[in-house]
Amino acid sequence: MDFPAALRVAVHESGLTLERIRHRLARRGLTVSVATLSHWQRGRTRPRSRAVVAALEEILAVEPGTLTARLDDPAPDSAGLWPDPDGYTRLVAQFDRSGDRRLERLSVHDVHRLGPDRRAAGLTVREVLRSTGDDVDRVVCVHPVPAAGAELTGLRYCRPGRVRDAGGLLGFELIFDRVLGPGETAVVEYGLRPADPRRRGGTARRYRRVFPRPVRDYLAIVQFDPAVLPARCYGFTAADGRARHPLGELWVGTSGSAHLALADVRRGSAGLEWEWD
C-alpha cells in the first residue's frame, strides 16, 4: 500500500473530517490546509515534512510508521547498493525526495572519460524522466566521487538545488525547468569533474552505475584516451548489491571507446570493467 492509500484508510477509520484533522494539526503548531490534505490522499502531492506525517499518525491513532514509512523507500532498499549504506542514508536524508516515487526513468546515458594517466577525468550524464503524478519539480542524483570531491558542471534543461558532499558521495537536486504533471517528461544533463585534478584517485579499472530505481534504457560509454587503451573490456550487472554477473567482452573501437546498452534495468547496478596491459 502506498502513502496516499494508507492515508485514505487511516482517515476513514478515524472518523475525522479533513477540517478536524487540519484543526488538530494547527493546535500542534503545524499549518496544513484541507486542500493539501486532500491532495495527499489523492496522490497529487506528497508531504515534505516528516514531522507533520508523524503528527498525523498520532491524530489518526495509527501505529508509528504506518504513514512515515511510506514517504520514501526504506533506507536498506537503496542504501544496501552502496559501499557505505549508513553514509548514503545520511546523505539522501538532506534532500527533498517526495517526488521520486512519481518519476519513471525512461533513459540514462553516461559517458565516463579517462585521461592518459588511466585515471577518471570526468562524467557526462543525460536522463529522460516522466512524471506519474502532479507537482513533480526535481530529481535527486547521487554519485561516488574521489576523496578530494567533485564539481557539478554543464547543467542543461535544469538548475541546481541543494548539493551535498559526504563520505565519498556527492548528492544533488536538479530542478526541472517546469513543474511536471502526469505523463509529462523532463530532460536533464549534467557533468561531474574532479574538484582537484591532481587528486583524482588511482588507476581506474571499472565504471559502476547504481540504480536505486528501475531504468527502461541504459547506455554507458567509457571513453579511453586513444593513446592508452585497455587490453580487454567487459560488461557486468549486479542485482540488489549481489555479486557481479559478467555480460561478456566488449569491443573497444577505433574511437577508443567501449559501450554497454541495456534495456529494462532493475534495481541494482551495471557497468564496465577493464584490464590494462
Say what the pLDDT of residue 167 is.
82
In-domain check, residue 28: yes
- Cβ atoms < 10 Å from Cβ of 220: 22
pLDDT at 182: 87
Angle at 190 between CA 143 and CA 267, to 5 degrees: 45
* Alpha-carbon radius of gyration of the chain: 21
Residue 13 lies in a domain: yes
If asked whether residues 189 and 261 sit together in one domain, one would say yes
- Domain CATH code at residue 112: 2.60.40
Q: Judging by DSSP bridges, how do beta strands 103-114 and 215-223 pair with one another?
A: parallel
Q: How far apart are CA 48 and CA 255, in angstroms?
A: 46
Residue 186: pLDDT band by 50, 70, 90 thresholds?
very high
257-265: strand order across its sheet: 150-156, 185-194, 120-131, 103-114, 215-223, 257-265
244 and 179 in one domain? yes
Within 10 angstroms of residue 219's Cβ, the number of other Cβ atoms is 14
| Per-residue model confidence as pLDDT tens digits over 232-248 | 999 999 986 567 899 99
Residue 134 lies in a domain: yes
Asked whether residue 181 is domain-assigned, the answer is yes
Give the span between the Cα atoms of 43 and 90, in whole angstroms. 26
Q: What is the CATH number of the domain that holds 10?
A: 1.10.260
For residue 151, what are the domain limits? 94-275
Q: Are residues 101 and 57 in the same domain?
A: no
Say if residue 238 is in the same domain as residue 192.
yes
The structural domain count of the chain equals 2
pLDDT tens digit sequence for 44-102? 777 877 788 999 999 999 998 889 877 764 434 577 888 888 888 888 888 877 788 78
Beta-strand ranges (E) seen in 206-244 are 206-211, 215-223, 232-239
Residue 63 falls inside a structural domain:
yes
C-alpha cell at 232: 580487454
